[in-house]
Amino acid sequence: MWRRSVNLLAHASCAAALTLMTSAWAGAEEGEPARAPGARRGATSPENGKLMPLEVFINKAKGGQWVLLERDGVLFAPDEAFDAWRIARQPGVPGLEYRGQKWLPLNTIPGYEAKFNYADQSVALSFSPRAFEATHLTQQAAIRPKLTPASPALFVNYDLSYTGAAYRGAASDQQLGALTEFGLSGNSGVLTSSFVGQNITGSSNLQAPSWRRLETTYTRDFLDSGVTFKAGDATTQPGPWGRPVYFGGIQVGTNFGLTPGFISQPIPILHGTSTAPSTVELYVNDVLRQTSTVPSGPFTIDNFPLLTSSGDARMVVRDALGRQTVIDQPFFTSTSLLEQGLSDWSASAGAARLALGTQNFAYGQRFVSGMARHGFSKQLTVNTQAEFGQDTRDGGLGISYALPWQMLGQVAAGASSDKSAGSGRNWLVALQHMDLHHNFSASLQRATIDFRQIAMGPNFLPYREQLSANYSYTLQDNTGSLAAGVARIATYTTGTITTYSGNYSTRIARNGALTYSVARITGITPGFSIGVSLLLPLDSDTNLTSNLTHKNGYDDGYVSASKNLGNDNGTGWRALAGNRGGRNYAEAGLYYQSDEGLLTADATASANQQVVRLGARGGMVMMDGHGFMTRRVQDSFALVEVPGYPDVGIHFQNTVWTHTDKNGIALLPRLLPYQRNSIELDPGELPIGAELDSIEQVVTPAARTGVKVVFPVRSGQSALIHIVMRDGQDAPPGSVVTVEGDAEVFYVARRGEAFITGMKQDNILHMTWSDRSCSFRIKLPPANPASIPRVGPVTCNP
Please state, in angstroms and rounded to a whole number, the distance separating the CA atoms of residues 557 and 584.
10
pLDDT at site 322: 77
Place 186 in a pLDDT band, splitting at 50, 70 and 90.
very high
Check pLDDT > 80 for residue 519. Answer: yes
Q: Looking at the domain 717-796, which fold is it?
A: Immunoglobulin-like (2.60.40)
Distances (CA, A) of 114 to 5, 58, 110, 676: 20, 10, 12, 53
Q: How many CB atoms lie within 10 A of CB 332?
A: 23
Strand partners, 721: 754, 791
Q: Which helix (H) or strand (E) holds 363?
A: strand 363-375
Please state, in angstroms and rounded to a whole number, the distance separating the CA atoms of residues 475 and 631.
42
Q: Which helix (H) or strand (E) holds 430?
A: strand 422-434
Please state, in angstroms and rounded to a whole number, the distance separating the CA atoms of residues 604 and 587.
4
Nearest to 713 by CA among 681, 741, 760: 681
Mean pLDDT for the stretch of residues 368-389: 95
Please state, in angstroms and rounded to a whole number, the distance separating the CA atoms of residues 536 and 513.
7
DSSP 608: S
Check pLDDT > 70 for residue 45. Answer: no
Question: Which stretches within 9-77 are classed as H helix?
Answer: 14-19
Check pLDDT > 50 for residue 750. Answer: yes
Q: Do 63 and 124 contact (CB within 8 A), yes or no?
A: no
Terminal-residue alpha carbon distance, the chain: 58
Please state, in angstroms and rounded to a whole number, the distance separating the CA atoms of residues 343 and 381.
9
Mean pLDDT for the stretch of residues 621-646: 91
- 702-732 tens-digit pLDDT: 999 999 999 877 666 778 888 888 888 888 8
pLDDT at site 416: 94
Mean pLDDT for the stretch of residues 158-172: 88
CATH of domain 635-714: 2.60.40.2610
Helices and strands (DSSP H and E) totals, the chain = 2, 55
Nearest to 59 by CA among 123, 155, 136, 133: 123
- 398-440 tens-digit pLDDT: 999 999 888 999 999 999 999 999 999 999 999 999 887 889 9
Nearest to 118 by CA among 37, 22, 51, 13: 22
Q: Where in the chain is the domain with CATH 2.60.40.2610?
A: 635-714
On average, the pLDDT of the chain sits at 85
Q: Which helix (H) or strand (E) holds 83?
A: helix 79-84
DSSP string of 290-337, one letter each residue: EEEEE-SEEEEEES-TT--SEEEEEEEEEETTS-EEEEEEEEE--TTS
Q: Worst-scoring range by mean pLDDT, 43-47, 600-604, 727-731?
A: 43-47
pLDDT at site 515: 95
pLDDT at site 140: 64
Place 35 in a pLDDT band, splitting at 50, 70 and 90.
very low
pLDDT at site 6: 36
The superfamily (CATH) of domain 4-133 is PapC, N-terminal domain (3.10.20.410)
Is 143 exposed, middle or buried, given 0-12, 13-18 or 19+ CB atoms closer than 10 A? exposed
Phi, psi of 662 (to 5 degrees): -65, -20
Q: How many CB atoms lie within 10 A of CB 81?
A: 23
Phi, psi of 256 (to 5 degrees): -65, -20
Place 368 in a pLDDT band, splitting at 50, 70 and 90.
very high
* Residues 164/166/171/175 CA torsion (nearest 10 deg): -10
Q: Do 545 and 531 contact (CB within 8 A), yes or no?
A: no
- DSSP reduced 3-state for 88: coil
Mean pLDDT for the stretch of residues 295-313: 78
Please state, in angstroms and rounded to a whole number, the distance separating the CA atoms of residues 158 and 156.
7
Distances (CA, A) of 76 to 94, 142, 336: 12, 43, 52
In whole angstroms, what separates CA 128 from the centre of its chain?
Answer: 40
Please state, in angstroms and rounded to a whole number, the distance separating the CA atoms of residues 396 and 293.
48
pLDDT at site 62: 85
pLDDT at site 21: 37
Q: Where in the chain is the domain with CATH 2.60.40.2070?
A: 717-796
Q: Looking at the domain 270-332, which fold is it?
A: Immunoglobulin-like (2.60.40)
Q: How many CB atoms lie within 10 A of CB 350?
A: 21
When mean pLDDT is compared over 558-562, 657-661, 679-683, the highest value belongs to: 558-562
pTM: 0.76
Kind of pairing, strands 392-403 and 407-418?
antiparallel
Q: Do 640 and 711 contact (CB within 8 A), yes or no?
A: yes
Mean pLDDT for the stretch of residues 492-501: 93
Q: How many CB atoms lie within 10 A of CB 83?
A: 11
Q: Where in the chain is the domain with CATH 2.60.40.3110?
A: 270-332
Please state, in angstroms and rounded to a whole number, the distance separating the CA atoms of residues 763 and 761.
7
3-class SS string, 4-19: HHHHHHHHCCHHHHHH
pLDDT at site 1: 37
Place 534 in a pLDDT band, splitting at 50, 70 and 90.
very high
Place 39 in a pLDDT band, splitting at 50, 70 and 90.
very low
Please state, in angstroms and rounded to a whole number, the distance separating the CA atoms of residues 345 and 239.
11
Using only C-alpha atoms, the chain has a radius of gyration, in whole angstroms, of 38
Q: Do 347 and 370 contact (CB within 8 A), yes or no?
A: yes
Please state, in angstroms and rounded to a whole number, the distance separating the CA atoms of residues 589 and 87.
70
DSSP string of 233-262, one letter each residue: EEE----TT----EEEEEEEEE-GGGSTT-
pLDDT at site 33: 38
When mean pLDDT is compared over 29-43, 253-267, 752-766, the highest value belongs to: 253-267
Percent of the chain with pLDDT over 90: 42
In whole angstroms, what separates CA 158 from the centre of its chain?
Answer: 29
Strand partners, 489: 466, 497
pLDDT at site 623: 94
- DSSP reduced 3-state for 453: coil
DSSP string of 95-152, one letter each residue: -EEETTEEEEESTTSTT-EEEEETTTTEEEEE--GGGBPPEEEEPPPP--PPPPPPBP
Check pLDDT > 60 for residue 38. Answer: no
pLDDT at site 203: 82
Percent of the chain with pLDDT over 70: 91
Please state, in angstroms and rounded to a whole number, the distance separating the CA atoms of residues 706 and 183.
11
DSSP 82: H
Phi, psi of 89 (to 5 degrees): -70, 135
Please state, in angstroms and rounded to a whole number, the distance separating the CA atoms of residues 311 and 283.
11
- DSSP reduced 3-state for 353: strand
Place 40 in a pLDDT band, splitting at 50, 70 and 90.
very low
- 276-296 tens-digit pLDDT: 788 888 888 777 888 888 888
Q: Which helix (H) or strand (E) holds 531?
A: strand 527-537
- Cα atoms found within 13 Å of the Cα of residue 776, Cβ hemisphere only: 22
Q: Do 258 and 223 contact (CB within 8 A), yes or no?
A: yes
pLDDT at site 26: 33
- The amino acid at 560: S
- DSSP reduced 3-state for 751: helix
* Residues 277/283/284/285 CA torsion (nearest 10 deg): -150
Check pLDDT > 90 for residue 343. Answer: yes
Place 5 in a pLDDT band, splitting at 50, 70 and 90.
very low
Place 518 in a pLDDT band, splitting at 50, 70 and 90.
very high
- Cα atoms found within 13 Å of the Cα of residue 525, Cβ hemisphere only: 3
Place 577 in a pLDDT band, splitting at 50, 70 and 90.
very high
pLDDT at site 22: 32
Q: Do 142 and 261 contact (CB within 8 A), yes or no?
A: yes
DSSP 770: T
Mean pLDDT for the stretch of residues 669-673: 92
Pick 130 or 374 by higher pLDDT: 374
pLDDT at site 715: 64
pLDDT at site 572: 93
- 65-82 tens-digit pLDDT: 898 988 888 899 998 888
Going edge to edge, which strands form the sheet with 655-659? 655-659, 649-652, 677-681, 696-699
pLDDT at site 146: 87
